[in-house]
Structure 1
Amino acid sequence: MAAYAFGWRGLDGTPGEVSGETSGGKGVRQALAVLGAEAVGAPGQAGVPAAVAVELVHVFSLLHDDIMDGDQVRRGRPSVWKAYGTGPAVLAGDALFALALETLASAPAGPAGLRMLSTALGDLVRGQADDLLFASRPWSGERRVRPVEYRTMAERKTGALLGCAMALGALLGGASPATAGALDRAGRHLGTAFQVTDDVLGMWGDPAVTGKPVHSDLRERKKTLPLLLALDCPGPAAGRLAALLETTGDPALAVALVDRTGARARCLAEARRHLTAAETVLADLPLKAGTVRELRELSKFLAHRVA
């Protein structure tokens, strides 16, 4: 099941060629861990245990997230719970988490690395819990989800693990706790930009490129940032959008109403702000210039990707 989740094997366990779409995603967390080690002057190999541990935790979280969200497809194939059953998928996720701890326990960072990973996982769980709670809250009125709440959720759910990847790689490369902490902050900004961009793609992306059905987030009634920003705008479009979302309204009409509020441009501006904040943190650290350039290129990919 784990090999299937990583895209290494087919449903029956047989190995074979796997497309890029199913072979482990974009590799962002692994890259950040290796670059984190290189940024503080260590060879990239020093960050490999961090890359492995963080990716194991990431896939563990995906297995559980798909169950909680009822998502039947992951990277173009049936999700693990859909393919093998809910109970086995939970156990597979738990096993990956145990392997992540084992990987770090034998790494040079020792207890400090384990604490860093456990802190990130705690934030990830809190972010996922908030995301689940958002689904039960109304689209309008005093109990509606505010954009500031969404930002906190996104930083925890997506940013925590990206920040941990970069900081943990640096820690294994011999960085001071202060430098590792600053890299964690930079990674959290990157993660927030990543999540905001993901929301934009979920509403306006090309399904042929993203691999997601058109307007999938809207059909699943997810409270994404474009919707929350649009609902916070003054004017009739926000009111019409709230009324539409309280029913099983037309997703295409909802997107048209969001467009009228300018929420798409505001989302893209927010992603750029977080990207700039991450770059500012990097600029203030004593890091290798060449690696910083690579981190900036990766950051641009996260914030400006089309899939």
Structure 2
Amino acid sequence: MAVELVHNFSLLHDDVMDGDRTRRYRPTAWSVFGVSAAILAGDALLAAALEVLAASGHPAATAGVRMLGGAVQELIGGQSADLEFERRDDVTVAECVVMAEGKTAALLGAACALGACFGGADTGGVASMGEFGRLVGVAFQHVDDLLGIWGDPAVTGKPVFADLRARKKSLPVVAALNSGIPAGRELAALYRRETLSDTDLAHVAELVDAAGGRAWSQTQADELLAHALAQLRSAAVDSRACAELAALARLATHRDH
């Protein structure tokens, strides 16, 4: 519950910062109730998340609050980097991966580590589960970035080409920009334009593909999933739980929404 509250806090604020008007097939909160109300609602969800852990009465509650608080700090750092990257033309692939590790992987890692901690796992088990979640989180972000360009809006519930229109330095885009081939250079020139038409955006998506960004992100997602499943096995969790978590990891990294 605490992790889901944090997740929704981040989405409320993310929609405000990105100016997105659609989330899960419905108007975003800020577009209906206003920016101020959406920010305050997000703040309330974050406070509620920490209260859920603090009031749980569990012996691991204090450690859990620290763990989740640290993940939120990483998440905010990742989101800050994401916004900064929109103003830069020199973002490296390594920087983009670090951003994804904060923006998405930190929260999924905390979700898995918290579950292990509250379930009585030893230090090694908590660490293995946390790493499993972080690896799935980065893989999830690769897939999310791919869907942000090539996903079907009727399935994803997000506007078409929203990330490209906002000049997001997403993982496949940054890989394409750093490809060093003509398609990457043409992409860089288009990304510096003040406005892009729908036709331009469609061409930008083609250039990301042609410069190898699409294939690179898909390969990365597959490799990260494999490493994540290895971490899950090393955590020595119950066989049924291991199978269920592995199925969730595969679902998160092979999805269309």
Cα distance, 1:92 vs structure 2: 1.3
1:276 alignment counterpart? 226
What is the 5 A alignment of 1:63-82? 63-82=12-31
Inter-CA distance 214–93: structure 2 relative to 1 (3 Å threshold): closer
Deviation per CA, 1:119-173, whole angstroms, max 9, x where unpaired? Answer: 11111111111111111112xxxxx111111111111111111111111111111
Which of the residues 36, 53, 58 maps onto 2:2? 53
Which of the residues 157, 167, 178 maps onto 1:232? 178
Which structure has more helix as a fraction of its residues? 2
- The reply to whether residue 296 of structure 1 matches residue 242 of structure 2 is no
CA distance in 2, matches of 1:65, 1:212: 13
Question: SS of 1:163's equivalent?
Answer: helix
Cα distance, 1:275 vs structure 2: 0.6
2:48 alignment counterpart? 99
CA distance in 1, matches of 2:215, 2:66: 38
Unaligned runs of 5+ in 2: none
What is the 5 A alignment of 1:146-295? 146-247=92-193, 248-249=195-196, 250-295=200-245
Q: In the comparison of the two structures, how many residue pairs are matched?
A: 251
Cα distance, 1:202 vs structure 2: 1.3
- Read off the aligned partner of 1:241 and give its amino acid letter: L
CA distance in 2, matches of 1:71, 1:98: 24
What is the 5 A alignment of 1:33-48? none
- Read off the aligned partner of 1:173 and give its amino acid letter: G
Q: Is the 8 A contact 2:22 2:159 kept in 1?
A: no
- The reply to whether residue 130 of structure 1 matches residue 81 of structure 2 is yes
Cα distance, 1:268 vs structure 2: 0.3
**Identity score, percent:** 49
- Read off the aligned partner of 2:93 and give its amino acid letter: P
Deviation per CA, 1:244-265, whole angstroms, max 9, x where unpaired? Answer: 1111340111122222222211
- Read off the aligned partner of 2:66 and give its amino acid letter: R
CA distance in 1, matches of 2:235, 2:72: 25
CA distance in 2, matches of 1:291, 1:280: 14
**Aligned residues: CA RMSD:** 1.3
TM-score using structure 2 length? 0.93
Report runs of 4+ in structure 1 exceeding 6 Å deviation. Answer: none
- The reply to whether residue 83 of structure 1 matches residue 32 of structure 2 is yes
- Read off the aligned partner of 1:229 and give its amino acid letter: A
